[in-house]
Amino acid sequence: MSQSLQSGLYELCEKRIAEDREFLALTGTCDNPVSDRLFDAYRLWQLQKTVKLVSEESPFYRRLYSAAGVAPEDIRCLQDLEKLPFTTSTDLESNPYRLLCTSQSKIERPVTFFSSGSVGQKKRVFFSQMDIQKILDFLPRGMHTVINPGEGRIQVLLQNSQGRGVGEILAKSLRLYGMQAWTSELQDDTEDIFRLASENRVNVWFGDALTILRASRILAQEHDLRHFGMQCIFLTMTNIPDSMVQSLEDIWGCRVSTHYGLTEAGWGLAVDCEVCGGYHYNELDHIIEIVDPETGVPLPYGETGEVVLTTIARECMPLLRYRTGDIAALSQCRCGGHLDILAHIVRRKEGACRIAGRELYPALFDEILFRDRQVLDYRVYTDGEQLFFDAEVLRPNCFDTWTLTEQLRKLPVLQGMKPPHIRALPVGVLRTYAFEKKRVLPVSERVGATE
């Protein structure tokens, strides 16, 4: 059977404590099984060690905390985290080596990525072998929330999977945990992806939501996927509207679950709770806060703001109070567990723009666009007070752009604006852009096809 994330984290916490002589010497014993009290105590211990580590070893944090007048001994409880200044994406762009707490010789895997799609400054994140091992420990416990290890036959659909990226790291961790796992590249042909799934009797697809939606809708034209034997479609890497979830449930006839991860967090971070209607996240290795996006003031449970991430188990490049740019809310769980619940991500700050005094971002349109079973992907552009949509669809010659336009016009945020314009494009045209984070783009960047 599947396992709650809390059970997996408490099991992992017990293992960590048993190997942590310094913590055992401080506390004298380890609860078996781990209690809520001990779990929180170990989180605080890890936070305090991390603040001490960065203050002593990282030139960036040493200077930052000195200027702010804070020291490791100021962190006496988890709430004292608010005393520390923020870390931002600019800090990762400008000089990431100053954030290092180890020598460069201990770097196991540097990761370079863009702040938004293929534009902006590159950010670099570094991991040591110890950091990678902790990632390997957590990832399968996230997968265990959707399928039992002895049953799991997972196909991973993530970028750069074949031995170079997170896809292969995830597959390796699943194999070590007792599951079977294979990887596909996001660039692979849909039939090749399906052939691998069929040959290996895959029962879980995990990966990029748009790649999975695209493949599912294309395959459903020729195959009855409800009889394939899929047990879970596990989505990540983008905003996931209810209409996308409903469509995939109808196509495959199985559970659809969602995941929230960040490269800065070591990829895996949070998984769906079916009871709470949001995510439980890896609280053993991270602390999440919600702050006002403009002022940075911490917000109470239930209020929507910017997600701020602190890694508390990282050796090479810890990130403390890192402003992710993602917008969500945090609350207490309703499923009887101890972990907080992180609401599904509403949007990203960097993907939005202001037009005629209103804020527009792609998630506003996802629900309507992906409700249409022909739509595989889209891009949105702005020119003054008018929006232009490029929609990649299964059959562009018979696509009903008028009905979709009328549905978009009814959105409250578009009231008073010129009617949006939709261009239907054939299968494959937008696949080049499938790996970019969705943003509202200027119309000057509208490329790829002519009407």
Mean pLDDT of the 409-438 span = 88
Task: Return d(Cα 379, Cα 394) in angstroms, integer.
Answer: 16
Predicted pLDDT at 122? 74
Q: Which of 220, 297, 287 is CA-nearest to residue 253?
A: 220
Report the range out of 66-75, 152-161, 328-337, 434-443 with the highest average pLDDT. Answer: 66-75
- CATH number for the region 352-445 comes to 3.30.300.30
pLDDT at 114 over 50: no
Predicted pLDDT at 32? 76
Mean pLDDT of the 84-88 span = 96
Q: pTM of the prediction? A: 0.90
* Residue 21 CB contacts under 8 Å (≥ 6 apart), including other chains: none
> Domain extents for the chain?
1-350, 352-445
Domain 1-350 has CATH 3.40.50.12780: yes
Which one is predicted more confidently, 368 or 268? 368
Q: Which of 169, 102, 101 is CA-nearest to residue 139?
A: 169
How would residue 447 be classed by pLDDT, with cut points 50, 70 and 90?
Answer: confident
How would residue 115 be classed by pLDDT, with cut points 50, 70 and 90?
Answer: very low
Q: 100, 316 in Cβ contact below 8 A? A: yes
Tens-digit pLDDT profile for residues 179-234:
999 999 888 899 999 999 999 999 999 999 999 999 999 999 999 999 999 999 99
Interior angle at CA 117, CA 113 and CA 121, nearest 5: 55
* Residue 136 CB contacts under 8 Å (≥ 6 apart), including other chains: 169, 172, 173, 176
